[in-house]
Structure 1
């Protein structure tokens, strides 16, 4: 009887597991000792059965051999299944001895490297290592042996056509029955696409970093420029105020002397009186421009001053209508005014008159001949509402948002050479907001414009009359 502790048993089992034949004398015990016999151990069940019939008296040993043969068959079936998996996997699977001699090379390795199994079996693994790489193979093998387990690393390897491929290699030790490492198993995966994606991602990240650096640099430049502009802004305001003041003095003097000359216009020929009238109008225009610049400088400096008293809005509107009447008549415009008696408890009459003059003069200036301009003023709760509507050229939507910016002029105004500085509506907005009011507009290109003012107000006294005017 063979026992697991016997040396012969271990030799017998090892022979079966290797698929080899083992020949040795066996002491078989049935009911009694039958003497020494020769027993042949083989992995084929049929051969074992034949031996069993010859050595009937050694039935126990034969039964044991049959059980071992079945165990070997089951093990071989598992090995065949595993071999099928290894062969059909998409990864390259390579086995080699410790001296780097290749003992297994699956179809995945053939596809990846271009070498067939016949070309690589018995060859050195060094065959797929690039010529310049003298350390990666041994260094990673040593690392695996030190870990006494799996080790994964990424490296370049060489195909049959000489091209290089990025791969991920997982090394595992192969051991014999006694547990000693006798070889290496390698699972090799192509990571070229992953490396390409990583490279593209890194390029995108680098471009993003460059863009961020450029944006940061641009932002720092803008901040520096803004700081510089903030430093220059008071200087600009002081300069504008100073220049405007210096201009106002001689212009006032010029106007004064012009007035004296025009009082005695009978001493001048008609042509000279006409010339003096042109000079007078242009000097007044310059004086208004200087006044506007001074006012804008005051607004920027937060030094706007309003002389608040009770103001009759009806009278202010009537004065503004009378101011534009000559131009309206010249252009044959229909000028209509309908104003309720309204009193504003606290307002600067001069500044509000300036707003109304500006809005009405714009309506008349931008309305073509034979058009119409209408003015309405009425109470809406606790607010006075003034609406100036014209049938002029209208304002493009992209220009409307900037219409109250200083020095802004619409493209249409520039194209048609309509005079103006672009300060009127900016000043009007500052004055209206200084009265806790609002100014807005609605316009359609080619359909005209409506400007709306809203100011805190109350109904006028019973002595005030409604102002209605129609100029056809």
Structure 2
């Protein structure tokens, strides 16, 4: 015997109970009131037709008419009465009328000898399915009453003990079947409820799956479009070499720019070479500190993604080896690609050829250093002879002294410019150094104010100071040079009647904070970030033809950074500018 698959938490139901369940669904509460009466009406019709076909006359025509009339009445009431508006148990009145129909039919077809006594089981079964335990007992009692009443109305019928016993036996059968059907119906209802819940959950999951599938399809479409766009961008980039690798460094993407830069074809590199194979081995060994013969890939990646060093970023330049063995200097930007779990999936390198740029910078620095050195010696000689002439024993006319004074001022100006060029070249070469000693920043600032006082008087600018003691360890010469540059700039950019103020105060953690502010012409906001670059001049200075070469602020920044400090700039066009030097308590040169 087969059984249905078990539902968790529910007992297995035998196969034969499933067939009874089908009957129960017809007789049960899920069917309409009319549908519930159809099985009994059909069975009654078969009984009447059988009686006619067999040619057996009824023992009571009145009883047969009563049975037929009651059956028709059951159908009419089932159709005509608005049962949905009445209590749920109301339709069971029609089932009770079926017991009366059976009693009338038995009375009309021979009483105790009638073959239709078992028809009482049908309404009894219906009550067992729909009425619960009360319905089981009502159905059994109705069966007993229906049989006994039919026997009692039959003429000449003897109510013997055996007849009563048979009647009660039929009632007992109805009771047993009713209990069995009730238990089966209860299980089936529980099973149907569980199945309905599962269907509801299945429908919910199906809707969620459809929504997820739609979202997934949209995400796949977006990702495919983004991938195609990325591939298009990578392929169209011919000025930059774009190289992508897996986690082990093996090259997976090698764009047209990389082919143009290195001379390799894509097929000769992708899946065949690693990123480290493109680098100059000696350079990698020198920067990573690895020994020859070691696997340099991981050490190379760590060095590539290390923070930039040096003002020009030259320490981040690397040397690639072309397919023909020649070298090219590149400036790579490296990005890690990660998986959703955070693990490294690979790396993307965007390398720019800076060979020509670095060579031009080297030649420029070499030229600046050479010119500065060649100019410094004759200027020093000129200044020496001017001093000799001015301090000599020979009498000089006022006009001659004026001319010598002009020569002295211009020679000293040129000497300062040459000194600035030499210092700038030292900064770029990485040879710039300071000699820290214990000093008070207020004393250094006071000396700068004293040196700038004649220039301030000549320009008609008020020079003020707010100097508080701020002891620190710094190079007094270089620090004084930085403050001199700021004060000199402030005087140049402040019109007559303006004010230049120098303030010094101790820092929060020691050290000093030096601020030089003016009420000058100011600097546009979009130019502030470029002010400390070499040879850069603000547009407000070039428009007003203010003299200068753009080295003072770059030297000031170099001096402050050499001390471990920072330079802050705040400016408003037409109102003035403030330069703030934040210096630590101790700078080790």
User: Are positions 1:418 and 2:418 aligned together?
Assistant: no
SS in structure 2 at match of 1:267 = coil
Paired with 1:218 and 1:296, the residues of 2 have a C-alpha distance of: 35
Residue 121 of structure 1 aligns with which residue? Answer: none
Q: Would you say the 8 A contact 1:373–1:388 is kept in 2?
A: yes
2:359 counterpart of 1:242: no
Can you list the C-alpha shifts for 1:294-333, whole angstroms capped at 9, x where unaligned? 1111111111121221122222111100111112112222
- Which residue of structure 2 lines up, in the alignment, with residue 362 of structure 1? 489
Cα distance in 2 between the residues matched to 1:449 and 1:408: 17
Of 416, 422, 442, which residue of structure 2 is paired with 1:314? 442
User: In 2, are the aligned partners of 1:364 and 1:373 still within 8 Å (CA)?
Assistant: yes
Query: Match for residue 468 of structure 2?
Result: 340
Bigger strand share: 1
**SS class of match (1:401):** helix
> Could you tell me how far 1:416 is from its partner in structure 2?
1.0
The corresponding residue for 1:187 is: none
2:422 counterpart (282, 294, 303): 294
CA 233–454 in structure 1, closer or farther in 2 if over 3 Å, else same: same
Contact 2:511 2:584 in 1 (8 A): yes
1:341–1:228 distance in 2 versus 1, CA, 3 Å: same
> In structure 1, what is the Cα distance between the partners aligned to 2:354 and 2:524?
31
Partners of 1:425 and 1:317 in 2: CA distance: 17
1:432 to 542, 560, 568: 560
Given that residues 354 and 428 in structure 1 are in contact (C-alpha distance below 8 angstroms), is that contact kept between their aligned partners in structure 2? Answer: yes
Structure 1 residue aligned with 2:135: none
Structure 1 residue 206 displacement after superposition: 12
What residue in structure 2 maps to residue 392 of structure 1? 520
Partners of 2:401 and 2:566 in 1: how far apart? 43
Partner Cα distance (1:252, 1:350) in 2: 20
Compared with structure 1, are the counterparts of its residues 214 and 339 closer, same or farther at alpha carbon in structure 2 (3 Å cutoff)?
A: closer
Matched, 1:405 2:566: no
| Distance change >3 Å, CA 398–CA 315, structure 1 → 2 | same
- The Cα of 1:278 is off from its aligned counterpart by 1.1
**Residue 243 of structure 1: how far off its partner (Å):** 2.1
Q: 1:232 to 1:208 in 2, by over 3 A?
A: closer
User: Conserved in 2, the CA contact under 8 Å of 1:404 and 1:425?
Assistant: yes
Corresponding residue for residue 84 of structure 1: none
- 2:502 is the alignment partner of 1:371: no
Shift of 1:343: 1.6
> 5 Å matches for 1:194-213?
211-213=236-238
Cα deviation for residue 276 of structure 1 reads 1.1
Give secondary structure in 2 for the equivalent of 1:352: helix
> Where does residue 35 of structure 1 map in the other structure?
none
| Cα distance in 1 for residues equivalent to 2:237 and 2:360 | 30
Q: 1:281 to 1:265 in 2, by over 3 A?
A: farther
Change over 3 Å in CA distance of 1:218–1:270 after alignment to 2: farther
For 1:250 and 1:259, locate their aligned partners in 2 and report how far apart those are by CA, in whole Å: 14
For residues 261-304 of structure 1, the C-alpha deviation after alignment (integer angstroms, 9 at most, x for no partner) is: 12238722212211111111111111111111111111111111
Secondary structure at the residue paired with 1:393? coil
Q: CA deviation at 1:411?
A: 1.3
* 2-structure distance, mates of 1:364, 1:305: 28
For 1:44-55, what aligned pairs fall within 5 Å after superposition? none
CA distance in 2, matches of 1:365, 1:266: 38
Question: Among residues 449, 455, 476, which one is paired with 1:349 in the alignment?
Answer: 476
Cα distance, 1:265–1:343 mapped onto 2, change above 3 Å? farther
What is the SS of the residue equivalent to 1:439?
strand
Quote how far apart the aligned CAs of 1:378 are. Answer: 0.6
Could you tell me whether the CA contact under 8 Å between 1:342 and 1:457 is conserved in 2? no
Distance 1:218 1:280, change over 3 A: farther
Coordinate RMSD, CA, aligned: 2.7
CA contact (8 A) 1:292 1:427 kept: yes
Look up the match of 2:361: 233
* 1:209 CA drift (Å): 8.4
* Structure 1: 5+ residue stretches without partners: 1-203, 459-472
Q: Which residue of 2 aligns with 1:3?
A: none
Contact 1:385 1:452 in 2 (8 A): yes
- Answering whether residue 576 of structure 2 is matched by residue 448 of structure 1, we say yes
* 1:243–1:387 CA distance, 2 compared to 1 (3 A): same
1:380-430 deviation digits (Å, cap 9, x = unpaired): 221311111110000001111100010000111111111111000000000
Number of aligned residues: 255
Residues 259 and 226 of structure 1, relative CA distance in 2, 3 Å threshold:
same
CA spacing shift, 1:358–1:218, aligned 2, 3 Å:
farther
- Distance in 1, Cα, partners of 2:237 & 2:450: 60
Change (3 A) 1:225 1:327: same
Mapped partners of 2:371, 2:397: distance in 1: 36
Larger RCO: Structure 1 or Structure 2 (Cα < 8 Å, ≥ 6 residues apart)? Answer: 1
User: Does structure 1 conserve the Cα–Cα contact (< 8 Å) formed by 2:471 and 2:511?
Assistant: no
1:383 to 496, 511, 528: 511
Separation in 2, partners of 1:272, 1:330: 23
